[in-house]
A and B are shown apart, each in its own frame.
Chain A
């Protein structure tokens, strides 16, 4: 999932300051799971903003809505009536959702309410960890399902740096050494031969450093 974190209230107050009628629009997919922008977070933020504005003697009218996904126009269309009733939209979706809204509603300011942080997993309730960099050339088959591009601080592809201690990264002792995890996993899978394979320097053109990417599926385009 895409993991995001709600912006501090002080920043959100600044962002919405020019508007008197605002729609807080949640997204019921990734940001809901990471407690940043689902229905509950929309309700809490709306309440907090109303209290903050009332305390400061400012008028604000807040409408609340959460749609299934803000990154798909099919769902975004459901929000059109609510958007038209407001001067601006504070989106609690990831950056993709904010931009998809902006694309649909050309004349309405769409404002970000969260900071989009990474692609990750729910490690356990309340803890999210980054697992994928979206580099565009996945070789998790070789690495036993553990990504050194994302989880090794040095992004090493041909074995550990030698700086880890007790299975922890020397950059951050709270982080597991990705290569320790890879070796342990390959041992468990009986695939330690993978460690003998030379991995050539990574081609980063498939990553964001090659500019914004586009995936075209001709078979789905009519």
Chain B
């Protein structure tokens, strides 16, 4: 869990935007250790994750950004997670145009309290970073 086979000098920075109804960082505790720096940004609904917030996370040095949203059909505000999904897809394309690889940005549906799924998502992001390396624009 959360192991990283890459240059020891590279400590990946991951910014996690999450809907407060999908995930709570208090359930995260100390998972992750020293191999990764994770910054959580909670939102009242994932639809609040504007495209500029995602880009600015990369400007602020994130190597990857993960957006955690409620399962489809379970958004308290009906379509917030669908809006977030479309916005993330748009920003992924823009990141490809920028040249920093849209795969650094991901969106995942997650049920409330499913910490195991959250760990898997971060693991997936770390696996991606093992291939992609540090953010070339940080």
Could you tell me which A residues sit within 8 Å of B by CB distance? 8-10, 40, 43-44, 47-48, 50-52, 54-56
Q: A47-B56, A47-B59, A50-B59 are in contact. Are A55 and B51 (CB under 8 A)?
A: no
Interface positions, chain B 76-109, Cβ under 8 Å from A, are 94, 97-100
Can you list 14 A-B pairs, Cβ within 8 angstroms, ordered by A? A9-B94, A40-B52, A44-B51, A44-B55, A47-B56, A48-B94, A50-B137, A51-B59, A52-B97, A52-B99, A54-B137, A55-B99, A55-B100, A55-B137
CB-based contact A43/B136 at 8 Å: no
Among B50, B97, B136, contact of A9 (Cβ-Cβ < 8 Å): B97
Residue in B50, B56, B58, B137 whose Cβ sees the most chain A Cβ within 10 Å: B137
Could you tell me which B residues sit within 8 Å of A by CB distance? 50-52, 55-56, 58-59, 94, 97-100, 136-138
Determine how close the nearest CB of chain B comes to the CB of A194; give it in whole angstroms: 42
With a cutoff of 8 Å between Cβ atoms, the chain B residues found around residue A50 in the complex are: 59, 137
Distance of A167 Cα from B103 Cα, bound (Å):
43
Minimum CB distance partner of A12 in chain B: B97
With a cutoff of 8 Å between Cβ atoms, the chain B residues found around residue A52 in the complex are: 97-99, 137
CB-based contact B137/A51 at 8 Å: yes
Distance of A222 Cα from B4 Cα, bound (Å):
73
Count of CB-CB pairs between chains A and B under 8 Å:
41
CB-based contact A47/B55 at 8 Å: yes
Q: A52-B137, A55-B136 are in contact. Are A47 and B52 (CB under 8 A)?
A: yes
With a cutoff of 8 Å between Cβ atoms, the chain A residues found around residue B138 in the complex are: 54
With a cutoff of 8 Å between Cβ atoms, the chain A residues found around residue B94 in the complex are: 9, 44, 48
With a cutoff of 8 Å between Cβ atoms, the chain B residues found around residue A51 in the complex are: 55, 58-59, 98, 100, 137
With a cutoff of 8 Å between Cβ atoms, the chain B residues found around residue A48 in the complex are: 55, 94, 97-98
With a cutoff of 8 Å between Cβ atoms, the chain B residues found around residue A56 in the complex are: 99
With a cutoff of 8 Å between Cβ atoms, the chain A residues found around residue B100 in the complex are: 51, 55
With a cutoff of 8 Å between Cβ atoms, the chain A residues found around residue B58 in the complex are: 51
| Seed contacts A43-B52, A47-B56, A55-B137; 15 additional CB < 8 Å A-B pairs | A8-B97, A9-B97, A40-B51, A44-B51, A44-B55, A47-B52, A47-B55, A48-B94, A50-B137, A51-B98, A51-B100, A52-B97, A52-B98, A52-B137, A54-B137
CB-based contact A40/B136 at 8 Å: no
CB-based contact A9/B55 at 8 Å: no
Minimum CB distance partner of B93 in chain A: A9
Distance of A169 Cα from B117 Cα, bound (Å):
50
With a cutoff of 8 Å between Cβ atoms, the chain B residues found around residue A55 in the complex are: 98-100, 136-137
With a cutoff of 8 Å between Cβ atoms, the chain B residues found around residue A8 in the complex are: 97
With a cutoff of 8 Å between Cβ atoms, the chain A residues found around residue B55 in the complex are: 44, 47-48, 51
Determine how close the nearest CB of chain B comes to the CB of A187; give it in whole angstroms: 37
Determine how close the nearest CB of chain B comes to the CB of A31; give it in whole angstroms: 16
Determine how close the nearest CB of chain B comes to the CB of A16; give it in whole angstroms: 14
Minimum CB distance partner of B52 in chain A: A43
Determine how close the nearest CB of chain B comes to the CB of A78; give it in whole angstroms: 22
CB-based contact A9/B98 at 8 Å: yes
Minimum CB distance partner of A42 in chain B: B52
Determine how close the nearest CB of chain A comes to the CB of B13; give it in whole angstroms: 15
